[in-house]
Homo-oligomer: A and B are copies of this chain.
Amino acid sequence: MADPRFYPVNGPFSLAQLAEAVGAEIGADADPDRLFGGVAALDQAGPGEVSFLEDRRLLPAFRNTRAGACVVRPDMAGEAPAGTALLLSTEPHRAFAKLAAAFHPMPEWEAGVHPTAILETGARIGDGTRIEAYAVVGADAEIGAGCCIGPHVVVGRGCVIGSGVMVGAGASLLFCRIGNRVIIHPGVRIGQDGYGYVLGSAGHLKVPQLGGVVIDDDVEIGANTTVDRGALGDTVIGAGTKIDNLVQIGHNVRIGRGCMVVSQVGISGSTTIGDFVMIAGQAGLSGHLKVGDGARIGAQSGIMRDIPPGQTVFGYPAMPYKQYMRQVALLARLAQKKGS
C-alpha cells in the first residue's frame, strides 16, 4: 500500500461506500459493510486493500491475489479467488483511479507567498495560491487562484497563468499564457527561443523569436520537457493534452486537444497535430507537417510526411502499420533463407 511516509490516507471506507463512489456494482455474496483502508497492486494487496484488474495479461495475478476487494469487469469476475470481494465495473481502471483518489486525495496546500519568493513590480497573485521558496515572478505576471508554484520556479515578465495550476520545482515559464488546472512538472522549460537561424558560411544569423506559448486547460507537461516559443505567432498545446518527460516541442508547433505525447518524442517547428493523436516514445516528427485527428504514431518512428486522420504509422521512415509489418516480416524471411 501507499507509503504513509509520503501519502496521508483517508478512510477506512466500506465496500458499499466504495461502490457508490465509483458507480460499481457489488459482487454476489460480498459483505457491503466490510471495511478497506487503501489500494495496492494485485500482487501486493492484502485483505484490507482494494486492487483492480483491467488487463487480461494480469489474470494469473488476479487468480492469486490476496486483495480484500477488486474492481473488475463482469466478464472476468468468474476468475476471482475466494475471499476477494468484487466491485463490478465496465471500466475498472477508471473506477480504481477514483478509489485511489478517495483514499489519497491530493494534499491541500497552505496558501501564501513564501518570504523568500520574489514578486516583481505589478505581479498579481490570486486567492488561495501558494508561492514556494525562492520562486521569482516577473513584472506584470498574473497568476490565478488556487495555484501552487514550486520552489525555484521562474515565471517571466508578463506571463499569464490560470487557476488551479501546479508548477514543479525549478521550472521556467517565459512568454506564455497558461490555462486552468495545468500541471507542469519539475524542470520544464517553456518559452525560450526557438531554434531559428539563417544559415551562412560567415556565421548563422539568429532570427528573433517574437511569438509566445499558449497552453490550454488541463494540459500536463512532464519533467524536463522543453517547449519553445513561436518565431512569429504562438506555439500552442490544446486542452487536455498530456505530454510526458523529456519531450521537445519546437517553435510554432500546434498540438490539438486530448493528445498523448510520450517520453522523448521530438516535434519539429511548425508541425501541426490534430486532436486525440497518440505519439509513442522517442518518435520524431519533421517540421511543417500535418498530422490528422486520431492518428497513431509508433515508438521511435520517423515522420517525414503528413499523416491522414486516423492512420496508424510505424517505422523509419514511417509508413502505415500493415505495410511496416509486411516489410519487417519479409526481411526476416529473406535473411533466414540466405542464412540457411
Contact = CB atoms under 8 A, between A and B. Distances in A.
B168 A212 contact: no
Given A101-B208, A210-B39, A326-B339, A266 B250 contact: no
Interface in A301-329: 302, 304, 315-317, 319, 323, 326-328
A262 B198 contact: no
A204 interface: yes
A78 interface: no
A216 interface: no
Interface in A262-310: 262-264, 266, 268, 276, 281-282, 284, 286, 288, 299-300, 302, 304
A298 to B, nearest CB: 9
A4 to B, nearest CB: 9
Contacts of A282: 266, 282, 284, 302
A198 B91 contact: yes
Contacts of A175: 3, 6
Given A101-B208, A198-B93, A330-B338, A134 B157 contact: no
Contacts of A189: 185-187, 223-224, 245
Nearest to A54: B198
Contacts of A91: 198
Interface in A78-122: 91, 93-94, 96-98, 100-101, 104, 106, 116, 118
B284 A300 contact: yes
A192 interface: yes
Nearest to A45: B232
6 contacts: A39-B232, A93-B207, A104-B208, A170-B187, A250-B263, A330-B338
A276 B193 contact: no
B245 A228 contact: yes
A98 to B, nearest CB: 8
Given A97-B205, A258-B204, A210 B7 contact: yes
B248 A246 contact: yes
Interface centre among A186, A204, A233 (most CB of B within 10 A): A186
Nearest to A44: B233
A212 B3 contact: yes
A53 interface: no
A316 to B, nearest CB: 6
B263 A204 contact: no
Contacts of A72: none
A172 interface: yes
A35 interface: no
A172 to B, nearest CB: 4
Contacts of A134: 134, 136, 152
A87 to B, nearest CB: 15
B169 A172 contact: yes
